[in-house]
A and B are shown apart, each in its own frame.
Chain A
Amino acid sequence: MASAPPIDEGLRSELQKQGIWVTSMQELYNWGRRNSIWPLQFGLACCAIEMIATAASRYDLARFGGEVFRPSPRQADLMIVAGTVTKKMAPQIVRLYNQMPDPKYVISMGACAISGGPFKQGYNVLKGIDRYIPVDVYIPGCPPRPEALLHAFMELQRKIDGQKLTGTGKAAFLDKTVPSEFPVPAFGAHDLEPPANADVFHPPKIERH
């Protein structure tokens, strides 16, 4: 548990032995959320094949409560950007993200979704989905193995577990001032307009001479 419950751990354990289970609303809420993450059912390239393998019987994403792939963004909690995002596809990805209800999370799966990967210098490939929407977990790999996607899924569960519902530092999705929708880029004459959302995309400044 990332957030310490306001009750002594030893006492709680002792009470549990007597058949009394003490918990907090936050803990219960996050426990429910983290064990029923419904991903949005869409794939973009070869990473999607690994995603399918992860959901199938051998790797079995159902063990972590993430097997309910939804064909509608209205019912999804998690967007797995699995594959190369072309510039022609990027506005649709942002639109799907905007249509998802809060709380929502994004896993950027594979080299292409992170940075454009091997197609980075192409005229038609977006250099990372984090130019337009915020990303929670990045998985490197080309494509990442199902174990890597499971690892990312567990990292996301850890993140959800640590989100506070009240007080200072509460989760971003409960803060009305934090935007949950982002402008959809338009098709321009030479590139997407804008080429990146400055509110979301903060590339590290490289200091060189």
Chain B
Amino acid sequence: MEALDEIKVRIEAAIPGARLEIIPNPGPANQSSLLLDHAHASTVARFLRDDPALRLDYCSNVTGVDWLERTVKKKVKVKKVVEGEEKELEETREEIFSGYLEAVYHLYSMAHKHGPLVVRLRTRDRAEGAHLPSLTPVWRSAEFQEREIYDLYGIHFDGHPDLRRILMWDEFTDHPMRKDYREPDDYEYEPTPHDDVLEKAKQHYVPRPAQDGTANIAAQ
């Protein structure tokens, strides 16, 4: 398969107006991915599937990611005039990246036996009812996995043929894989609690009754 930046150039030539971004992954896997914009996601997906050199006809996996808002501290060198002299000083600046939900698609080619190509879609924010275009019309295998993402992360896929919960029951209103999910408090009986569970179990503790004699000692 071609390098990702070559693919990006070819897509941009074939589909005018498509805004693509390469998300680098500097880890040992070194598996960079392609971020698609909402408006052209379906067209780009069809190009990836039908282009004779790529033929990415198999979507093996779709998964969701919840990215919280994060602040990154950066040290910046600033030139300032201190006591009539120009000096170079270091300043820390905080940059805030807003949170978003993400769907990640792993694409392979059965025809050419290559892959994976990783494609990402990001929502605007983490608010309830975040929307993404569905890629199920392009790869049918994404149907259940997009339903799972809807169930566990709460991303609504526009154009999905049958967007219902798949793992949790229909009456359930939460999205348990989101990082702000709080599970119901049923920690009445925890014989060996630790860490977070200990904090939850403590709310159910019964105070230890005063042992014989302690009342007398207190009275003296």
Contact = CB atoms under 8 A, between A and B. Distances in A.
User: Do A and B truly interact?
Assistant: yes
Given A124-B168, A189-B171, A203-B189, 5 more contacts: A187-B171, A189-B172, A196-B186, A209-B205, A209-B208
A127 interface: yes
A88 interface: yes
Contact of B189 (A123, A190, A206, A209): A206
Interface centre among B168, B186, B202 (most CB of A within 10 A): B186
Main secondary structure of the interface of A (DSSP, over half): loop
A17 interface: no
Given A123-B181, A189-B173, A191-B184, A206 B207 contact: no
Interface in A180-209: 187-191, 195-196, 203-209
Contacts of B16: none
Interface in B77-135: none
Nearest to A88: B169
17 contacts: A123-B183, A124-B167, A124-B176, A189-B171, A190-B174, A191-B184, A195-B184, A196-B186, A196-B188, A203-B189, A204-B189, A205-B206, A206-B190, A206-B201, A206-B204, A207-B208, A209-B208
Interface of B: 167-174, 176, 181, 183-184, 186, 188-191, 197, 201-202, 204-209
Given A88-B168, A124-B168, A190-B174, A195 B206 contact: no
User: How would you classify the secondary structure of chain B's contact residues: helix, strand, loop or mixed?
Assistant: loop
A35 B186 CA distance: 39
Interface residues of A, number: 21
A121 interface: yes
Contact of B207 (A88, A187, A209): A209
Contact of B186 (A188, A195, A204, A205): A195
Specify which of A190, A195, A204 lies most central, judged by the most chain B CB atoms within 10 Å of its CB. A190
A1 B171 CA distance: 51
Contact of A208 (B170, B183, B205): B205
Nearest to B200: A121
A196 B172 CA distance: 17
Contacts of A195: 184, 186
Contacts of A191: 184, 186
A124 B168 CA distance: 8
Contact of B171 (A124, A188, A207, A208): A188
A196 to B, nearest CB: 7
Nearest to B197: A121
Nearest to B171: A187
The residue among A203, A206, A208 with the most chain B CB atoms within 10 A of its own CB is A206
A207 B209 contact: yes
A123 B176 contact: yes
A187 B169 contact: yes
A45 to B, nearest CB: 16
Nearest to B182: A190
